[in-house]
Amino acid sequence: MPMEQTMRWFGPNDPVSLRDIRQAGCSGVVTALHHIPVGDTWPVDEIDRRKAMIEAEGMCWSVVESCPVHEDIKKATGNYRQYIQQYKDSLRNLAQCGVYTVTYNFMPVMDWMRTDVHFELPNGARALYYDRAAFIAFDLFLLQRPNAEADYTQAEIASAAAKLQTLSPQQRETLFHNALLGLPGSDDRFTREGVLKALAQYAHIDAAAFRENLFHFLREISPVAQELGIQLAIHPDDPPYPLLGLPRIVSTEADLKLILNASPETANGICFCTGSLGVRPGNDLTGIIERLGDRIHFIHLRNIRRNGAGDFYEADHLDGDVDMYGVVHALTQTMRRRGVSLPMRPDHGHQMLDDLTKQTYPGYSCIGRLKGLAELRGLELGILRS
């Protein structure tokens, strides 16, 4: 039983059209109502309008990515109870409209971090890149986060200072902008003052407290999702280790087990992202599939190339440190055993060919993702036929 092939679409303003996605061979679309303010209930008429646009192109709305979790819920402060209720209402409205898989994340303040969104590969294509020394330079010298020095060794601080000296004023501005990119699909950008204010609100929330806030959220929404037939899929941290003094609690297999045990409903599940989990060498990706596969509801397939310094970039889908053959083989076995076809999208892709001259969301140009989808489709077909 093959995976359901999908691609992410950021809505009517996305330079990659629904027609492009259909021509890539996808039967499903992964999207969200990015224009609805975070925390507000998604109205039925807005869901139906988006769904009708997708169906008019001969595809279905397979997965919501993401129905974002308000920061008040993550901090368990302010109007978090109201926001949880509104999240439940969004789930009810999605189910009423026939959309049954919902991805979300629980990363504080920022959803993802890269230091270079136009890293040039030897062949001229561009990829997303995380340079740890550059990130530390951003944290210490550009953002100037209070007490940030305590999070790094003297050697790391010296390396970051040396990295900063190699950067021109324009390159420093680009690094600052890259590190503060907002959510994919949004035109919003964080400011230095806004980020520091947001970080300060987490000053007294450690990993244990943050984990309890997630568990409370799950115990509230998972029974509702189970009743509605909705599958919830939490996305791993990206990158999967603490940043900017913030807790990260969805980074390892142990983290995932705690999350699944926090609310036992099968609706409480995982978005299995090989890129995010693959950044940590200790994560056994095929083992996670074998042990937690019953609770995988959505799949992101991308590859990364990492080094011992904590740097990584996004490699070709079949050429990186992730054993993509082993991952896809394990997924096909899991789906066969479960009797399901899980939705999969090629996560990110290189900016290449004609897309090099286009303005697209970082990682979400069309041709690179199409190339990745074709490679993954061929890999899966070979596994299924063998």
Task: Give me 117's structure tokens.
Answer: 């969104």
Of 20, 139, 316, 347, the catalytic one is 347
Q: In Å, what is the CA distance from 266 to each residue of 131, 223, 297?
A: 37, 9, 10
Considering 34, 70, 235, 297, which one is annotated as catalytic? 235
Q: Is 235 designated active site?
A: yes
Establish whether 348 is a catalytic residue.
Answer: yes
Single out the catalytic residue among 34, 70, 297, 300.
300
Single out the catalytic residue among 34, 70, 297, 348.
348
Among 297, 355, 364, 366, the one annotated catalytic: 364
In the residue annotation, 300 being an active-site residue is answered as yes
* Nearest to 90, CA basis, from 82, 345, 265, 30: 82
d(CA 236, CA 219) in angstroms, rounded, equals 19
Residues 291 and 282: their CA atoms lie apart, in Å, by 16
DSSP for 204-239, please give it.
T--HHHHHHHHHHHHHHHHHHHHHHT-EEEEEPPSS
Q: Is 311 a catalytic residue?
A: no
Active site residue 317: no
What SS3 state is found at 116? strand
Q: Is the peptide bond before 122 cis (omega within 30 degrees of 0)?
A: no
202 noted as active-site residue:
no
**Residues 157, 67: Cα–Cα separation, whole Å:** 37
User: Exposed (0-12), middle (13-18) or buried (19+): which is 355, by Cβ within 10 Å?
Assistant: buried
**Catalytically annotated residues:** 235, 273, 300, 347-348, 364
